[in-house]
A and B are shown apart, each in its own frame.
Chain A
């Protein structure tokens, strides 16, 4: 890294010298320059006086405006810092509470519905809830077919089979019923 003597312009170097911020070698070099150059010496004295003058002005200004006493000012800041800390702690506690609930909120209604379904299926499986009667009722609505009737004459069954080119169960049932009614009429007329 290049030395400040090479990097800095004349005034900057003098400011660094006056602020006593030059390293040992650079400081020695600056002093040599000052010893050899009267103009530079005058310049450094001017800068020193200017700096001290400004410093004194600031001190005077500070004396004039001796503001807030340190203690009350410090206490005000400490109170505010503590208030903010307490607020931050409160906020920090809130995520801790939600952390106890590891799943997102929307999961819970679904989980409840799934649990209800599970219980229902369990009860159904155990036979506590019986859905069978409803199924049976639906099945009962199926028309009685001639082949289902054990007491139907063979002749009727045959005629039914002959006439049934179609497979519509309702039509079959109609024909079967008509055949039964005809048979009953015949039986009645014979008995008379």
Chain B
């Protein structure tokens, strides 16, 4: 299962740990901040896209997340919990999405805006239609999952986080996090098998 989970983009800066980059960022090295943004950009935007079901909103939340990271960097303590910077980053992103839903309502967010899907070669027309249908189905299925199940599922697939890190991040027992994951997988399977 873990092999199918998308990995964060690889770059030469991956040899430097997040914590070292955070230290450098604290010393005011702008390049360290850029390296961290680059490192987590894809996984975080994907996570937010699937979490809130809206690409434009996901980009906005990603921006807010990084601004929040910058603002609270002095308070970040790498030794305080499992998962280090990545878990902290995804927790901030999750909180931003939850804040948005609280203030705007999830349904409204899902209807908002245009898709920002560009800069990729369009697949062959027939594949595109078939693929798009399947993609839409998955998107809808993910959207229909209960919030707590969707969070665990997406943190696992897009955050590439360990279950123990997810449990710690969400403040729940490991068994609870694993239970939510199991339910999410079964529900997703059932939703994808539903006839149109």
Contacts and interface: CB of A to CB of B under 8 A. Distances in A.
Interface of A: 4, 7-9, 11-12, 15-16, 18-21, 47-48, 50-70, 72-74, 76-78, 80-82, 84-85
B115 A65 contact: yes
A81 B4 contact: no
B164 interface: yes
Contact of A18 (B1, B45, B153, B188): B1
B32 to A, nearest CB: 12
Interface of B: 1-6, 9, 30, 33-34, 37-38, 41-42, 45-46, 49-50, 55, 59, 62-63, 66-67, 70, 115-120, 123, 128, 131-132, 134-135, 138-139, 153, 157-158, 162-164, 174-175, 178-179, 181-182, 185-186, 188-189, 192
B192 A69 contact: no
B196 to A, nearest CB: 16
Given A12-B179, A68-B116, A80-B63, A61 B163 contact: no
Contact of A61 (B67, B116, B138): B138
A77 B89 CA distance: 15
24 contacts: A15-B181, A21-B163, A21-B164, A47-B185, A51-B4, A52-B3, A55-B5, A56-B4, A57-B134, A57-B192, A58-B50, A58-B157, A59-B4, A60-B135, A64-B117, A66-B120, A67-B55, A67-B117, A68-B45, A68-B59, A74-B37, A78-B34, A78-B37, A81-B33
A62 to B, nearest CB: 6
Nearest to A73: B41
A121 B67 CA distance: 59
Contacts of B164: 21
Contacts of A78: 33-34, 37
Contacts of B33: 78, 81
